[in-house]
Amino acid sequence: MFSITTGTSLLEKFNPLQYISQEEYVHLWSKAYNLVLSGFWGKLIAALCLFGAFWFGVYRKMPGLGIVLFFITVIITYLGGVVKAAFWWAN
């Protein structure tokens, strides 16, 4: 159990900047962006999620799963630009 008096909390244990430097952290996220949210894999995952959203939402009549897959598509599509704008100095 973590003590309040010592100043260490559970959230401080999950802070990645205590384990790696800021440069390594920015490099990690820029590589993740280049790998997943940009290029072939990002387009493929977004296309599959969009197809799945329509398939499950309309044909299989499972609107909850269709909405979740649609939001994943929107996140992949638009988060790429947001991450690129946020880490513009790292490229």
| Predicted local confidence at residue 4, as pLDDT | 53
Please give the full DSSP string across 60-85, using - where no structure is assigned. Answer: S--HHHHHHHHHHHHHHHHHHHHHHH
pLDDT value of residue 50: 92
Q: Is 85 exposed, middle or buried (0-12, 13-18, 19+ CB in 10 A)?
A: exposed
Q: Give the Cβ contact number of residue 80 at 10 Å.
A: 19
The predicted pLDDT at position 40 comes to 79
pLDDT of 1: 47
Structural domain span for residue 80 = 21-90
Tally of residues, the chain:
91
Is there a domain that residue 50 lies in? yes
Collect all residues with Cβ–Cβ distance below 8 Å to 76 and sequence separation of at least 6: 36, 37, 42, 45, 46, 49
Whether residue 53 lies inside any domain: the answer is: yes
Structural domains in the chain (count): 1
Domain for residue 58, yes or no? yes
Which residues in the chain come in under a pLDDT of 50? 1-3
pLDDT score at 87? 65
Is the model's pTM score more than 0.85? no
